[in-house]
Structure 1
Amino acid sequence: MTSLTMMATVCVALAALLLTYALTEQPGGAHARARANLERGRQTAHSSGEAVPGGGGLWGAARRLTPAGQVQRIDGLLARAGRPSAWPLERILVAKVLLPAVAATFMFLLVTNNPDRRLIIFAVTMVVLAWFLPEVLLYNTGIKRRAAIQKALPDTLDQMTIAVEAGLGFESAMAHVARNGAGPLSEELIRTLQDIQVGQPRRDAYQALADRSPEPDLKRFLRAIIQAERHGVSVARVLATQASEMRLKRRQRAEEKAMKIPVKVVFPLILTILPVLFIVVMGPGVLNIIDAFSST
């Protein structure tokens, strides 16, 4: 083993240790986590171009190495993914720095032993994939969360409508549905109620929920609620209308998916099933024709 290979191996091991430490170590205990939660809104406020303080240690270095626009985009992906507690912004930044470093060092070892053009292209592709891997995972989590909110929204509005018609206020109905439900929509409703309880105006809390939500139907419902409160319209009537509209949209989405199935089935049918069927049906006839011409 050459000295260059040994140095690269040591770099891979060191990068792997740093990545493991960054993904498992907590940022300074419960006090630091509580402070980060309280200052979470400040990170969004810095999207106008102000500099966000980077902190110290490995996380501070990762923040300084990541461009400001990239940090803002990752923060937006985290907001759409519901800000998982196990993946704060700093941990994502560290992963985006260390994962490409580990991949680049490992691929450098492979390319050094076998400098083939295809292997070089594969190495570059793997490094690029390692750089975008955290964002792809966050984007996938955001899509799943949006689908869960979209699926739970019609039933949640029906329950809220029943609760309001039974005599509860809108916030009490929201609290009742959130306590008895599960999933990202219930979590967002609980967070909105907590914002109201700590003194935030109701319109601001509803607007913050609309800004956090990745689902357009939920944003449309919240805008309707804000307009109803502003103009004095009955909330029960708005809830009934929105619930009926959400059920109609859910039925239309189901019909749309059902109509797309024949189109999606055509390509596997043409590429996999029909060639085999042609071979089974026409194969013996073709062989007989070949035998007949070869014998004459």
Structure 2
Amino acid sequence: MTPIILVLGLFAILIMVGSFFLLRRSEEDPLAARIDEFAARDEAVSIEEIELSMPITDRLFVPLIRRVSDFVVRLTPQTTLERTARQLELAGNPRNMSAAEFWVIRGFVTVVFTGLTLLMMWRFGQPTNKMILFSLGAAALGFMLPIMLIRSMSDRRKQAIVKKLPDALDLMTICVDAGLTFNAAMQKVDEKWDDALAREFGRVIYEMQLGKSRRQALKDMVDRMEVPDVTSFIAAVLQADQLGVGIGKVLRIQS
């Protein structure tokens, strides 16, 4: 039983490490964040200094994943990539991964799990049939683990949005009653908090600045969330726009 326990323990460690480094949420580009950080300093810095200041995962693994993903795009059906992109969007776009990059990670985790299992089983002199059985199980686990983590992140994101929505509605109601527009009220939420709902409001404002209509931007936000409470709220706002009803009244009812 010793090799089995070791293999399971190794899987547990890999799951924790993978969850933190590969799928932790990162809303902004790491390089852009570093450039902004150094721009605030008085002394001049070189591009090399900026790159070396980035974590090793961003300097080595991320560029490698992106190169391989260019090859994956040509091999993977478009419908599969679109479905994966949708799952990543619902999870909040962790680390701003593309669908192809996510498939590269799935393949990498599958290979690592399978290889380490074979190595451990061989090291402890396990029979061939058991090595094959455990390696197949490890491959299945490695292949499914990333998507399981993404789904878990999506569920947690939805729960966080539902929890934060009442506070956001209260603030928006106060802002509108004070004379601000609905757009300005959304921007206030984005400025006050740093959470999934606030970032979505900020994205709506940004898309409107790029020329998208408010109606379409709000509909797109609803699609990115799939949260019934948000869907009902936005439907009420859009209906109020259509009927000429004051937004303040809608906000008071919703809050």
The verdict on a shared fold, with TM-score over 0.5 as the criterion, is: yes
1:16-39 deviations in whole A, cap 9, x for unaligned?
xxx9xxx7xxx9x87xxxxxxxxx
* Count of residue pairs brought into register by the alignment: 193
The 2-side partners of 1:91 and 1:169 are apart by 40
Q: 1:154: which partner in 2?
A: 166
Q: 2:251 aligns with which of 202, 227, 239?
A: 239
After superposition, the CA RMSD in angstroms is 2.5
Q: What is the CA-CA distance between 1:210 and the residue it aligns to?
A: 0.9
Q: 1:190 aligns with which of 202, 215, 228?
A: 202
Q: Aligned letter for 2:161?
A: I
Q: What is the CA-CA distance between 1:183 and the residue it aligns to?
A: 0.5
The 1-side partners of 2:200 and 2:112 are apart by 37
1:164-207 deviations in whole A, cap 9, x for unaligned?
11211111111112211221111000010011111111111111
Matched, 1:173 2:185: yes
Q: 2:233: which partner in 1?
A: 221
Q: Which secondary structure state, in structure 2, belongs to the residue aligned with residue 126 of structure 1? A: helix
Matched, 1:95 2:105: yes
* Fraction of identical pairs, as percent: 32
The 2-side partners of 1:78 and 1:225 are apart by 27
Unaligned ranges ≥5, structure 2: 1-17, 23-28, 33-65
The 2-side partners of 1:86 and 1:240 are apart by 35
The 1-side partners of 2:78 and 2:210 are apart by 31
Q: Which secondary structure state, in structure 2, belongs to the residue aligned with residue 85 of structure 1? A: helix
The 2-side partners of 1:68 and 1:218 are apart by 30
CA contact (8 A) 1:228 1:238 kept: yes
CA contact (8 A) 1:66 1:93 kept: no
Q: What is the CA-CA distance between 1:155 and the residue it aligns to?
A: 1.0
Shift in alpha-carbon separation, 1:69–1:114, aligned structure 2, 3 A:
farther
The 2-side partners of 1:99 and 1:173 are apart by 43
CA contact (8 A) 2:82 2:99 kept: no
CA contact (8 A) 2:157 2:196 kept: yes
